[in-house]
Chains A and B, each alone.
Chain A
Amino acid sequence: MNDSVLAVEMRGISKEFPGVKALDDVSLVVRPGTVHALMGENGAGKSTLMKCLFGIYRPDKGEILVGGRKVSFPGAKQALDSGISMIHQELHPIPHMSVMENIWLGRYPVRNFGVIKLVNASKMLRETKALFQDLRIEIDPRSPVRELSVSKIQSMEMAKAVSYDARVIIMEKPTSSLTEHEVILLFEIIRKLKNEGRAVIYISHKMEEILEIADEVTIMRDGRRVGTYPARELTTDLIINRMVGRDLTHRFPPRSNVPGEVVLSIQELTSANPRSFRDVSFELRKGEILGLGGLVGAQRTELVESIFGLRALKSGSIKIRGKEARIQNSIQAKTQRLALLTEDRRTTGIFPVLSVYDNTLIANISRYIGKFGLLRMRQGTGDVQKSIDLLRVKTPNQTTRIESLSGGNQQKVIFARWLLTEPDILILDEPTRGIDVGAKYEIYTIIADLAQQGKSIIMISSEMPELLGMSDRILVMCEGRLTGILEGSKASQERIMELATQFMD
């Protein structure tokens, strides 16, 4: 391919959904043999733009050129045929089928026997092996996908994208569930693709990664393009500044909480699952924000969910306010004044089709039972309104389905849900995941206020700046073991990373 021909050119793309202008006159130029990062807050229009390119949406206005030719894809299949492939943020492999069956899905090599077509498994195996060898991926093509780790599935999807002989590969937040080491492997593959003259469009929120891997960066805000810049001219601050359109001099609110007496004491806690955590001991103080750091797979979520009674323990003790606590389910956890905001808002947090009202009250519904077992709905409405005002939830009204709110507002509703149970100890598992920069600050403010009021907080976070900026102390875990406890003031990214990788080769 001639290097002077652009891999992708999108000109003046506009796309409107009922009530929202998702894209407004956006242009994008991607050169072959480069990694082009696409950045912006949630809702800035990155995914919509890519869906227009990939044929999932049809733009209202504008034109798209691929390899210099004007195209208009009626669907993803035509986009794939034209050399564009997309690795979606949420991977949807078919778990019971093998790796190679997933890769060649819908286009299996066949042997023809007249009208009868039989899948040519040996040819499929050969081609998959060649593909993997080329990309230096070490997976057995015959193993079922359900046995693969997330990062291996990621590699598989990458190989699948390449197998279409794609000239342009779109990757949506590919590293969101990868460990540091796996990210390095992923970047090696990306560099290889780049050197072969393919273009990679890379959507991510992670500044450090973007600065490392990208050649050019296009920043979007509110459905418009802010600008395209060479990556080497950018810094994290500059990117944030252009993404939010304002200076974020204070990424974290000031805190004035003072940790007091011990409220939660964990001794030698060991999971019933032998592959999970063991011998974890720590203390949590009143009014303290205790950060919990580590890489994916460090078993942090498993630890806090076990404390909350959702997972089984083998041994160890949990003391709450000095008394031994036996918590076997979330109902008992609530009576111990524990609250848990789970990591995955969509699967274990929100009730998508239910109203903001129901979503707010569900964990605390017993408190509204009045005469004849009927609920005191008016009191509920009052409390929900108070929560909406206090946490500044942006919602048309209380009867709105929560699924139509933004991620940040959904998270605030879940905060409201647990605050109504009047907890002493709040466990927050990745409380700002998938939330845009502006709303993050509001969540941080809520957390700081709670600590100030004397609530104790355990906060799992995979974002170093967040851990450092918000925690009084930081626990670090690695492969199920507690590897260190750092004073917030003395902690650094390097020190945390050291502890988080202590047992890794």
Chain B
Amino acid sequence: MKNPASGDPARGTIGEFASKNAIILVLVGLILVIGIVRPSFLNPENLVNILRIASVRSIIALGVGGILITRGTDLSAGRTVGFAAVIAASLSQRSDYASKLFQDLPQLPLLVPVLAALGVGLLIGLLNGAIVAFLKVPPFISTLGMMVAVYGAVSLYVDRPPRGAQPIGGLREDFTNLGTGDTLSIPNLILIAGFVTLVIWILLNKTRFGKNIYAIGGNPEAATVSGVSIWKNTLVVYAIGGLLYGLAGALLAARTGGATNNYGNSYELDAIAAAVIGGVSTSGGIGTVGGILAGVLIFEVLNNGLVVLGVSAYWQQIVKGIIIVTAVAIDIQKYVRKR
């Protein structure tokens, strides 16, 4: 520490490389092990399928990740995805489909269902942000309330007495194409997720907003003294989260060709787990886009891999739970003071 400005951070031993890129090594190791035990796992089709699912999940995780960096959390993410999915689906049903939610709805331009999904996400995000920023309700509680209320809202939206809540199907092909089609033989979902990732990466690393949210998460009191506006940045980070859930909801409906009021259930927990596995600190100030993506991929490789390996659904849950805690336990050792 005494000699100034001599150390090159890039230079290091294999051990250092391993500890810095542990998450990537875990991902590669996981793919190799599953691939050796079940070579069918490595089929291009299967891998692309994993990437498709991971695309939607990564968009959600990026939204939650930004919020976690500010020491916040968002439990309403999953239900917001579900609400957005239902709204997008309800506005893109084929005009000749028998049980449409809105019987007299004309064929709308493709942009309308997508924008509606984004809009509802943004609205919920802004509401979350305002409750946290102005009413000072702890994020865990405010988004917990939002989670419960949004589920009520989406159920109400699809409720058609006397038959009750209806699944929404019969989506137009131009809409589902967003989730299932390719452009230049690359799946659209991957292109969209890649674009979103790029935007969020720039936002976090290259803009004032990014610097501000790391500062707020790193030390909110010092941020206040330094002239960083806590309320503005909090509002924006939740709003961006909501916008991303909205997009993810639309894409989810497009990929699966429908939506129900139960869509997105517990996605927020998967997203938080993926972000945390990817090195985002729940005590704020720490987290990278690359880490979040790696976390999501590990999660989805594991999901798919356990199925391919023929592990029972119940055991899958147990394994995933163990992986989450283990990953964080290993990561946290870096910060635990050595005796």
Interface residue ranges, A against B (CB under 8 Å): 17-20, 56-58, 308, 310, 329-331, 333-334, 340, 342, 347-354, 358, 361-363, 365-366, 368-369, 373-375, 377, 388, 393-397, 399, 404-406, 417
Contacts and interface: CB of A to CB of B under 8 A. Distances in A.
B206 A362 contact: no
B9 A350 contact: no
B50 interface: no
> Which 5 residue pairs are nearest across A and B when measured between Cβ atoms?
A351-B218, A363-B226, A396-B7, A330-B227, A353-B285
A362 B223 contact: yes
Contact of B212 (A349, A365, A374): A365
B225 interface: yes
A354 B7 contact: no
B206 A348 contact: no
Given A351-B218, A354-B285, A342 B225 contact: yes
Given A349-B222, A353-B218, A358 B5 contact: no
A353 B7 contact: no
Interface residues of B, number: 32
A400 to B, nearest CB: 8
B5 A395 contact: yes
Contacts of A366: 208
Contacts of B173: none
Contacts, number: 104
22 contacts: A18-B338, A57-B339, A330-B225, A330-B227, A331-B227, A331-B229, A334-B227, A342-B222, A351-B214, A351-B285, A352-B218, A354-B285, A358-B215, A369-B207, A373-B207, A374-B202, A374-B206, A375-B211, A393-B4, A394-B4, A395-B4, A399-B9
Interface string B1-30: 110111111000000000000000000000
B282 to A, nearest CB: 13
A396 B225 contact: no
Nearest to B6: A396
B9 A351 contact: no
Given A310-B224, A353-B286, A369-B208, A404 B219 contact: no
A393 B2 CA distance: 10
Interface string B118-138: 000000000000000000000
A94 to B, nearest CB: 20
Nearest to A305: B225
Contacts of A363: 226-227
B226 A354 contact: no
B208 A397 contact: no
Interface in B201-257: 202, 206-208, 211-212, 214-215, 218-219, 221-229
Contacts of B281: 353
B2 A394 contact: yes
A362 B211 contact: yes
A331 B221 CA distance: 14
A310 B225 contact: yes
A395 B2 CA distance: 8
Contacts of A17: 338
Nearest to A57: B339
Interface string B165-199: 00000000000000000000000000000000000
